[in-house]
Copies of this chain bind each other. A is one copy, B any other.
Amino acid sequence: MIIYCMVLIARLCRKKYEMQERKVGLNMSDILVEIEGSGKHCHVKRETLDILYGKGFELEVKKWLSQPGQFAAPQKVTLVGPRGSTELTIIGPCRKVDQIELSLTDARALGFDPPIRESGDVAGSPGCKLIGPQGEVETSDGVIIAKRHIHLTPEDAEKFGFVDKQIVKVRVEGERALVFDEVVARVSPEYATYIHIDYDEANAAALSGDPPMGLVLS
């Protein structure tokens, strides 16, 4: 009887963890967050915009983005790399540093070898030439591959049990189902809760759904 009980407990325990691993179906407590795929784009500092578009130029709003206050401008900039050039959308408003976010596919085509970094962490990354209608700038750094991340409001972070800088995983279902590891959680009252990946990552997962959703795993 005792042995039977022990075997039964062991089996139930095993079953539970197998079920967790397979994620068969979703539970009420599963954390589903909308995923956005970000194309190549750049952020510019005030001084850079002054040169590219003229002193005091203000970026216009073509489309508001999911993160509060952030917008895609109709203004473009030409990025020149060692092997080619491409047009980039400017994301406003101006930031403290110039930051050019490419996918690895973009980077290789243009001849860059950028590091995978969190936004704002551009030290030691490659520089580039940016050309606007009023002038051009040679940046000393700024070209990065964005580290995949999840923006969280403090309320959602608390609800989900995540802290700022925590590395989490995100499972995407579908024909190219996968689990992204190394997703950094970023918590701020200035954020809205969204998962951000780049186009290589979105295509590797054949991201679909309206909107596409990711299951966040700690």
Q: Which residues of A contact B (CB under 8 A)?
A: 2, 5-6, 9-10, 13-14, 17-18, 20-21, 103-105, 116, 145, 147-148, 175-182, 199-201, 203-206
Bound state CA distance, A145 and B204, in angstroms? 11
In the complex, 28 of the A-B residue pairs with CB atoms within 8 angstroms, ordered by the A residue number, are A2-B2, A2-B5, A6-B9, A9-B10, A9-B13, A13-B14, A17-B21, A20-B21, A21-B21, A104-B203, A105-B105, A116-B206, A148-B176, A175-B182, A176-B180, A177-B181, A178-B179, A178-B180, A178-B181, A179-B179, A180-B204, A199-B200, A200-B200, A200-B203, A200-B204, A201-B204, A203-B204, A204-B205
In the complex, how many angstroms separate the beta carbon of A214 from the nearest chain B beta carbon?
Answer: 12
**Is B181 in contact with A116, judged by CB distance below 8 angstroms?**
no
Q: Which residues of the partner chain B approach A175 to less than 8 Å between Cβ atoms? A: 116, 147, 182
Taken together, the copies of this chain in the complex come to 2
Bound state CA distance, A103 and B20, in angstroms? 32
Q: Which residues of the partner chain B approach A178 to less than 8 Å between Cβ atoms? A: 178-182
Q: Is the interface of A mostly helix, strand, loop or mixed?
A: helix
Bound state CA distance, A182 and B172, in angstroms? 11
Bound state CA distance, A169 and B178, in angstroms? 9
Q: Which residues of the partner chain B approach A17 to less than 8 Å between Cβ atoms? A: 13-14, 17-18, 20-21
Most chain B CB atoms below 10 A, which of A6, A177, A200 = A200
Closest 6 pairs (CB-CB, A-B): A17-B17, A204-B204, A104-B203, A200-B203, A177-B181, A13-B13
